[in-house]
Structures are given as structure tokens and as C-alpha cells.
Structure 1
Amino acid sequence: MKTRFKKLLLVSTGLTLLASTLIGCSKGGEGASNTVAPSDNKPKVTWETAPKITVAMNMVASAQSAFGKTGDDQQDNPYTRYIFEKTGIRLVPIYYPGTGDEFKQKLAVELAGGKQIDMFQYFDVQQEWMDNGTIVPINDKLKQYKDKMPNMTANVPQAVWEGSSRNNGQNYGFPTRPALGNPNLSYFWVRKDWVDKLGLQMPKTTDDLTSLMKAFVKNDPDGNGKNDTFGMVPRKNFGQMNEWMTFLGANPWSDVVIDGKRMNPYATENGRYAFKTVQSWFKDGLIDQEGITDDKAQETKIVNNKVGIVETNGTIVLDYARKLLQNGFKDAKWAMVENPIVNSKDGKFYANAPGSKHQSITFVTSIAKDWDSITKLMDWFYSPEGTFFTEMGLPGKEHTVEGGKPVYNNAYVTDGKSYLGMYGFGRSYNHVNSEAFLAKYKDEPSLLELANKYASILAKDYDKYVVPTDRSSLLFPGLAVFKQYPDYRKGIDTYQAKFFLGNLDPLDDAAWKAFLDENNKYGMDKVYEAVQKEVEKSTAKK
């Protein structure tokens, strides 16, 4: 990847100005103006005359509940009014309740019936949409309007565009990140007080991680004289083991190409090493196996001072830290590993949430025509002002301003009245260090600062550390893959249980081949054959 991430920008100096601007414009979000001031001698744009951009969205239950509690109109409310006030564009959301499949079906019916839908959000590109013309590449439009999208140009790294593209760099929409309210960055967090007590260092390699877990198990970090502490406890089932396998170089949700053939990373040398490492964690007692069958074991053990490392996101760790304090463990301090933990086998970093991560894509339909409004609207979301709105919401609702600084209003969210997250069409990738974010957690800001530091490291050193995978349609499979996928997924827990808790030696060639043969009984080979065909079909069309 030739284009490096731009250095992260700090927006702390502009927050006070932004906050006062937001307050002055919104007055709690209830008195938004009905007009936008004219510019360049153009007539005033009113709510009634403003250009409309219709966006189809999946209506999550929490947002549906929020509309019910506030009594707000789904299309004319303080949030859509605020967006109009800032852009001169009237956002017209159309909500489709239900699951992803129901959303796709509803979208197809409405488009077939002639309904004008300009954009819609979904978690990734679907093969069927490319096949039936619902979406078409927008690369030419992105080039045409580049000068009119300065915020998007500055604040969306090239790696993100590449990560959300298909068919040799074709983009079908805008990569999107959600509101920062619940950061979903997942990485390793360590009990720093245990590290300091035992005179240890934070891990820099996967071997260091193993050594640290051994110390937490054998050296009585909680000081009770008993051998009752663990390195880690998994969440229920083997889902988290897939995340650990990713950091060890075998991401099960991506595919690799070897000699022209697409393969499950499990079947590679890194896969063998990853399996061997996780297996040894179980065999050596570094992992509490109770977490495999008990979905409450992870939290129970952690908040009762029995676990030294957890791989999860900052929001969950913050909750664990508070519960440890409530349980009387006043010295407990969590710290996120600041550096990428590189694979000891090859010195590379395999990210579970890499710098190119996009949460979803805001697609532009093939029938959309008003590209002036589309690009203006989307560019605003990636601006500091739009990012601030996506992070903090409206003054008097999601946040207030105290002493010139925005403070998040947890009560409003807890009461179920906030539907800010429904408008996260985009957000700058450069503002992860903003004080607006940290203000939500002003009592324990260090945890979030570390999470942001990790994001910064990935952005700065992405090319150096991260090994890109050639992900095709495995995670978001096309129709052909779906026919094979369920049986494959059904067997994953079965063969992983036999492996992680069994006696197979991944480094024994004969035993490893037998393991892969058993894996194939559940359809692994069929899945990858289908993936290969999907990719070949897409490439042939180009």
C-alpha cells in the first residue's frame, strides 16, 4: 500500500468554538432555523425548497423506541433540521425495520416500484447489488467532485477506500464509521497494577503475551496466596479464539491466495503456528476454560480480580474497571497495550480492527442524480463540525457545554431518547483524539486516550506493520457461497473444540493433514471453491 495515513489531527483547540457554534445554532435542537442564509447572491434556501436526498436505513429497535419516547417525526426532527441548517440539504430518511435480509428485500421492492432512493447504508458490498445494477462504481464521480469534497479528501485515508472497495479498486459508496459513543476498537488490555507489582513489561510480541499470562498465573498477582488467577478468559464459545487467531496471523474471516488458489488462513503455516499457540494457552492453564461454556464467566472472573488480560473494546473495559472499584479492588488499573503486538513468527502485525476498517458503507444507488447535494452532504459529515455532531449530538440533548467544554449527557442516552446514531453517515478518521470524545469519560480519560493512541499507531505505521489480506466475498458471501456456508459454520465449533482442547499437534504434518481433512467434511473446501468462483465471475465482468 503506497499511500500512508495522514497524521491524526487534533481538534481540541477548535472544540470551544465548535461547541459555541452548535449552541448558538440549535438551542437544544428544538429551535432550528427554517432557512439557510444566502451565499453568492443566491436566494435563501428554505426547508420547503431545499434539495432532498433520500436515504434508506435499517431502523434499529433503540431508535424506534427513541422516536416513540420523544414524539419526533422521523423525517422532520431536530437532527434533520440541524443537518439542513448546516448544509442547506434536506435529509429524508426512510426506515426499514427488521434484519439485514428483510432490509435488502424491502429495498429491492421499493426500487423496483420506482421509489426514488438516493443512498442507503449497509455493512458491506453485496454481489447481488452489483449483478442487478442497484449500485454501480462511483470512482469517476469521486474524481469529478474531489475538489468539492475537501474534508473527505483530507480525512478518509486511502487504505479505507481500498478496504471498502471490490473488483480491483471499484468503490460503490462512501466508507462509514459509526458515532464514537460506543468505541468498538478491540485490542488487548492489561492489568497495569499487576504488571508493575511483578516487575514486568507490557508485551510487544505474541511470545511476550504468552510470558505475561504465565506470570499472571504462577506469581500470585492478587496476593491471596492461592493459584487462582488467569491470563485470559474467553467470551462464551470459540468466537473470541477467532480474534486471537487473527492477531497470531490467521484471520478466519479473510482468505489468502496461495498458488492462485483461495484458502482458509487456518490451512497456512501461520495458521498452524496460531493453532499451536492458542492450544498451548489452554494446555498450560493460561486460559480459563470456563469461559467457553459460561457466557458470564469472563465478566465474573475479571471484576472479581482474577484475570490479568482481556481482548475487548474500551467501553467494556471501562465498565469492568468501574465494577472492580465497586467490588473493593481500588488499586486495579487497566492499560491498553500501546504498541501493536507483532507476531513472533514473522514480526508482522495482524490487526483485528485495522486502520482500513469501515463499519459500513453509505451506498449511492444507480438512479441517484443530484451529485452536487450528495457530495456536499457527505463532505459535511467528514468535516470537524460534522464529526463533532456525530460524536456529541445536539447541545441540550446528548451534551451540554460546561466551562467551554462539551460534556456528554449520559442521562439522555440512558433514558432512551437519543437517536443520534441513526445519522452516522460518515465521520472523520483524523479526529480520534478529540476532547469531545474524552469528555464523555472525563473521570477515567486514560483508558480512552490509550484506545485512541492505538488507532493513531495503526494510522501512522499501517504500511509497516499490517499484513493486508485479499478478502473477497467470504465474510459477506455472495449467493453461491451462501449455499455452502451454513454447514461450514455449523462445524466450526466442533472441530475447534477438538483442536484447542485435544491432543492434535499442529506441527505434525500427518496430524495436521488429518485435521484439515476433517475440517473439509464441514465444507471448508466447498466454501473456498465457491469463493474462488465468485471472484472469477466478478473479475470476468470487469
Structure 2
Amino acid sequence: MKRVSKLALSCLLVPALLAACSSKETNEKAPEPGQSSSPSASAGNESAKPVEISMVREKSGVIKFRSGETMDKNTVSDAYEKELGIKIKNLWVADSSQYQQKLQMSISSNDIPDLMFVNADQFQQLIEADMLMDLNGVYEKTASPETKAYLTSDGGMQMDSAKQGGKLLAIPATNSPYNAASHIWIRKDWLDKLGLQQPKTMQDLLKITEAFTKQDPGGTGKSYGLPLTKNVFIDAASDAFAITGFFNGFHAYPGQWVKDTSGKLVYGSVQPEMKAALKQLQEMYKAGQIDPEFAVKDMVKENELVASNKIGVAYGPFWLSVYPLQDGAVKDGKVVQNWVPYPIVSVDDKPAMTQAELGVDGYWVVSKKAKNPEAVIKLLNKWVQVLTKPTDEDKKTYLLNTEEAQSYWLLNPIRVFSQDQNTRNGEVLPKAIQNKDQSLVQGDADQLDRYNKVMKYLGGDLSQWGEWGISGPGGAFSIMSGYLKDKRFQINGYTGAPGPVMTEKKPVLETKMNEVYIKIIMNQLPIDEFDKFVEDWKKIGGDAMTEEVNKLYAKTGKK
């Protein structure tokens, strides 16, 4: 399911000029070229003497090479050598299935290239082994103003995650921390049929789920209030029907580290607010509002209930309308289900905060032994320029995507992405669509692509129905922008790499938690079993993990 959900998200983020969603193999996110608000800086010194940067590379299965081209020599690598005087030398290339294993062997043997992409765990391992170069000086000197602005549009949070002890030890693979924002998607046609209004409070929402269950507006003989899956607590972020937003409505933040009243980080999954949310889900289950078989179903199986008119409320991300809701919403040339997104609601007078993660997908690290670190920053400058203000030539090289040469953007040696594209979309697209004013989006490729999709939908192309719920007036993007404006994002309190205790203990603790919490929801255990589980959780590793996280957090110097 993680593969399916990430593919769905990738498909939504690809502008028309880039890779289409034809492959079923990739977990990669495609870039979102747009218009820079300031003049483009030079990507690097074109007259510089050729320098060599060594790398180890992952070969994605979605790349289709031109005849005669390979990972070692291709249109993209040739362009960097010609334009920047930088030659990329691959020490080795591995398929996605083997990359992590080979990478770990290189790290363990202290045999790393000048530049490579690593995950958070590996980043921490390299820091502890003192194998990484401090990029502070070279970054300040070589990074263009556009690059610096692009990487700090979130206020510098993601860049800070790459720093330790005052050193800049990597370039974070930036992405939007806001894309995981939760929405409540509701069948507006059912609301209208039963004379109900959009929910403003959790109490309003619970009345809606009860009405949908009891009054069966779909006419199927049996309806439910919410779709849950067996992954409700484990890896919930990759589940299209993740109900984190429901817990957020009770001010609970499962899977996140949050500050307690003393300023110490504590684990959100075991805080008292979780008990209140679990109790409510248990009551809903007893009232027949939750599929009694959810504990053995994945998202695809649970969506069969949604598509067959048995469920009219679903928590989920901004792209839920495209996948999987569109499967049931559009049939036989007609829109038969009118799903509309709404902001998450609170159980009391305190605003509901939607939880979000750091948004960093990994780290681009430079070896302490690298002779030309400034070349890495020049590569970074060029990529940012290609994303924010691509020339026609850039599209033919760095973003090449044709029948004979597909997904060439993945060949770029260093890649970062917008931290605020979709929240900016929410400020611009609804107005442009409402006024049918294409000039408002003309300078941003992603916004123009989404605008054109909605115009196609309004013109009768129902294949673009899902984009209306995302980009149209009152759509998911406008809700995300509202969250940001009202400061309703709850970012994970700890964004560093896991330590050895967390690495060892967390998988066991999460598995046990998922088992106990699902049994509580299904009324197989009383709600007070939550308190007993929390005590057990602390004893079998929770306290040790919390202590470790706070020690690691203290090293960051954050308050």
C-alpha cells in the first residue's frame, strides 16, 4: 500500500511536461517546475576548468534511456559537463532493490564517494563516524541567492535538520512538510439529501457519521461512518484513509514527538488525549459505524465500501479525490459521488492542529575527502534554476521526457523540491479558476498544469474530476493554505535521525500498540486497557526511547 499511495501522490505532482504516471514501479516524487519570484542567478561558472565528482547511484526502473545512453553517460550528464564543467563519475550503479545494501557496505567500509544520497539513519551514522564535510563555508560562498531562498522557504527548519554542532553536514532533500495535512472528505450529495451542514466541530462530524450510518443515504442497506484499515496505527501516513486527522481533533498526535508542559519531548501515541479518541472510536464501532472487518483489510479492500456507496466520510490527504475516491465517484460518464474536502474539526474550543512531518526525504552528503565540494553546490544551483525557471533547453536536457527518453529528471545528480508549492497553489489556483483567469498562473508550470486540468473538467472531461477537489475553490489546496495562515500545523517535535535505542525498540513497540489499540476499538479490550498498555510500553522500551530522543534533541540546541 505504501508503494501505491506514493505512486498516486507522485502522479499528482507531475506537470504535463514531465513524466506521466504510466509506470507502476517508482516510489520517486517527480519535480514541480515553477516560476521564481526573483531573477535567475547563474547556476555556476561556465568557464570553470572541468572537475570530477564521484557518486554512487540508484537506477530507477522508470527511466527509459535513449539508444546508446546509460547511467554513466547520457543527455543530463553531458549537459552538466558542457554547461558547468562538472563531470559525474559513478563508482557504481545499483537497481532500487540492491541500492540500500550496497550503500550500507560502502559506508561500513569507509569507502564513500564525493556525493551520495542517504536516509536519516545513514546520515547519523556518517556523522558519528566523522566522514562528512562541513559545507557551511562553501555553501555560503557558492550557493546562489535563489538556492538559499528556495531551501529556507519553510523558515529554515529543513536546513536545520542537516546541521549538528554548528556544522552544515548535508543538503537536505527538501520537500513540503504540509503535503501530509489531513482533510475530512465528505459526500456533499449525502449532506444535502439529509439536510445536514458541513461540520464545524467534532460533535457535528459525529452527528454526520451517525446519520450516514442510520439513514443509509446510499440506499445499500448498510452504511458505515468511517473507513479504517489494519494499518490505522502502523505506517498510517502511507494509507490513503489515514485517520490521523481524527486523532488530531482530540489534540492527539500518534507517531509524533510533542512537548509536555515542562518542555520535554514525549511520544504522542501514548498521551491521555489518545485515550479519549480511542474511546470515541470504540463507541462508534459498538454503534455499527465502523466496518467490523477493518482489522483484516487494507486500503484497497476498504475502498470497495466507499466506492459502493457504503461510506460517506473519510479522513485523508489532499490527493484523496484523485486516488482512490475517483474510482467510485465517476462511473459511466457521470459523477455519481460528490466528495468535498473540509478542514479537520476539534472536540473543544481549541483549534485542531493537523500533524505534519519534517518533509525531508533524505540527505545529500559530501565526503570529508572530497576535493571539489563547490562543484556540488553548483550542481544544486543549476537544479534549483531548472525547477524554478527552466529554459526551453533545460526541458530538453535536464527534464527530458519523450517517448524515447523518459523520466530523465531522475538522472540529475542532486535533487531538492519545493517546500511550499501546494500551499502557494491554495492561494492562487482557486481565484484563477473561479475567475477563469489563466494569467494568474501563467508563470508557474505546476499551477498552469492544474488550472488546465480543472478547465478540462469544467468543459466536460470527467477524467479530471479529482483535480477539481484539490485545486478548485474551497478545495484541498485552499484548506492547506488556511492551515498555514492560521498556524494549524503540528510539526513533529523531533526531526533528527533515530538513535540505536529507537531503531531497536520502536518497531516492537509499534506492533504491540497497533494490536492493543485495534482491540480497544473493536471492544475486545476495555478502554482502561490503554492505561495498562502505556505502563507496559514505558517498561519494555518506551522510557529508554524517550530518554534517548531528548538527549539527541538537546544536541540540536533547539528550545
For the criterion TM > 0.5, the same-fold answer is yes
Q: Does 1:128 align with 2:128?
A: no
What is the Cα deviation at residue 105 of structure 1?
A: 1.2
Are 1:190 and 1:308, in contact at CA under 8 Å, matched by a contact in 2? yes
Q: Does 1:306 align with 2:306?
A: no
In the alignment, which residue of structure 1 is the partner of 2:269? 266
Gaps of 5+ in 1: 1-14, 20-38, 401-408
Distance 2:156 2:292 in 1: 37
Distance change (3 Å), C-alpha of 1:70 and 1:142: same
TM-score, normalised to structure 1's length?
Answer: 0.70
In the alignment, which residue of structure 1 is the partner of 2:187? 191
Distance 1:470 1:43 in 2: 42
What is the Cα deviation at residue 288 of structure 1?
A: 1.9
Q: Does 1:351 align with 2:351?
A: no
**Equivalent position amino acid for 1:270 in 2:** E
CA deviation map 1:402-454 (0-9, x unaligned):
xxxxxxx8xx6xx9953544647112334433335425785333133134334
Q: Does 1:243 align with 2:251?
A: no
Distance 1:85 1:436 in 2: 31
Distance 1:284 1:70 in 2: 62
In the alignment, which residue of structure 2 is the partner of 1:492? 513
Distance 1:121 1:254 in 2: 22
In the alignment, which residue of structure 2 is the partner of 1:230? 224
CA deviation map 1:27-50 (0-9, x unaligned):
xxxxxxxxxxxx99x8757xxx64
Where 2:324 maps in the other structure, the secondary structure is helix
CA deviation map 1:114-136 (0-9, x unaligned):
x5322424356743222111335
In the alignment, which residue of structure 1 is the partner of 2:417? 427
Distance 1:54 1:73 in 2: 16
Aligned residues: 465
Q: Does 1:375 align with 2:377?
A: yes
Alignment of 1:367-516 (within 5 A): 367-383=369-385, 385-387=386-388, 394=395, 417-418=406-407, 420-421=409-410, 423=412, 425-432=415-422, 433=425, 434-438=446-450, 443-444=464-465, 445-449=467-471, 450-461=475-486, 464-471=487-494, 476-502=497-523, 512-516=530-534
In the alignment, which residue of structure 1 is the partner of 2:3? none
CA deviation map 1:313-333 (0-9, x unaligned):
455531434422236763312
Distance change (3 Å), C-alpha of 1:133 and 1:178: same
Are 2:248 and 2:352, in contact at CA under 8 Å, matched by a contact in 1? yes
**Equivalent position amino acid for 1:189 in 2:** W
In the alignment, which residue of structure 1 is the partner of 2:287? 284
Alignment of 1:177-188 (within 5 A): 177=174, 187-188=183-184
Q: Does 1:213 align with 2:218?
A: no
Distance 1:422 1:206 in 2: 47
Distance 2:360 2:284 in 1: 31
Are 1:488 and 1:527, in contact at CA under 8 Å, matched by a contact in 2? no
Are 1:164 and 1:171, in contact at CA under 8 Å, matched by a contact in 2? no
Distance 1:246 1:369 in 2: 50
Distance 1:72 1:185 in 2: 40
CA deviation map 1:365-395 (0-9, x unaligned):
3334434332232233334x425779xx956
Are 1:487 and 1:523, in contact at CA under 8 Å, matched by a contact in 2? no
Distance 2:137 2:339 in 1: 47
**Equivalent position amino acid for 1:427 in 2:** F
What is the Cα deviation at residue 257 of structure 1?
A: 4.2
Distance 1:360 1:427 in 2: 12
Alignment of 1:43-62 (within 5 A): 50-60=50-60, 62=61
CA deviation map 1:294-345 (0-9, x unaligned):
22322211222222133334555314344222367633122232x4x25334
In the alignment, which residue of structure 2 is the partner of 1:35? none
In the alignment, which residue of structure 1 is the partner of 2:71? 74
What is the Cα deviation at residue 138 of structure 1?
A: 3.8
What is the Cα deviation at residue 108 of structure 1?
A: 0.8
Alignment of 1:22-33 (within 5 A): none
% identical equivalent positions:
21
Q: Does 1:105 align with 2:104?
A: yes
Distance 1:202 1:457 in 2: 17
Distance change (3 Å), C-alpha of 1:191 and 1:157: same
What is the Cα deviation at residue 160 of structure 1?
A: 3.9
What is the Cα deviation at residue 293 of structure 1?
A: 0.4
Are 1:243 and 1:352, in contact at CA under 8 Å, matched by a contact in 2? yes
Are 2:162 and 2:172, in contact at CA under 8 Å, matched by a contact in 1? no
Distance 2:334 2:46 in 1: 64
In the alignment, which residue of structure 2 is the partner of 1:525? 543
**Equivalent position amino acid for 2:447 in 1:** E
**Equivalent position amino acid for 1:131 in 2:** E
Are 1:381 and 1:428, in contact at CA under 8 Å, matched by a contact in 2? no
Pick from 311, 320, 327 the counterpart of residue 324 of structure 2.
Answer: 320
Where 2:490 maps in the other structure, the secondary structure is coil
Distance 1:73 1:492 in 2: 46
**Equivalent position amino acid for 1:418 in 2:** S
Pick from 93, 96, 112 the counterpart of residue 95 of structure 1.
Answer: 93
Are 1:54 and 1:91, in contact at CA under 8 Å, matched by a contact in 2? yes
Where 2:274 maps in the other structure, the secondary structure is helix
Distance 1:126 1:86 in 2: 30
Structural RMSD (CA): 4.3
Distance change (3 Å), C-alpha of 1:169 and 1:206: farther
What is the Cα deviation at residue 73 of structure 1?
A: 0.6
**Equivalent position amino acid for 1:95 in 2:** V
Distance 2:352 2:165 in 1: 24
Distance change (3 Å), C-alpha of 1:497 and 1:326: same
TM-score, normalised to structure 2's length?
Answer: 0.69
Distance 1:344 1:524 in 2: 28
Gaps of 5+ in 2: 1-14, 19-41, 237-241, 426-445, 457-463
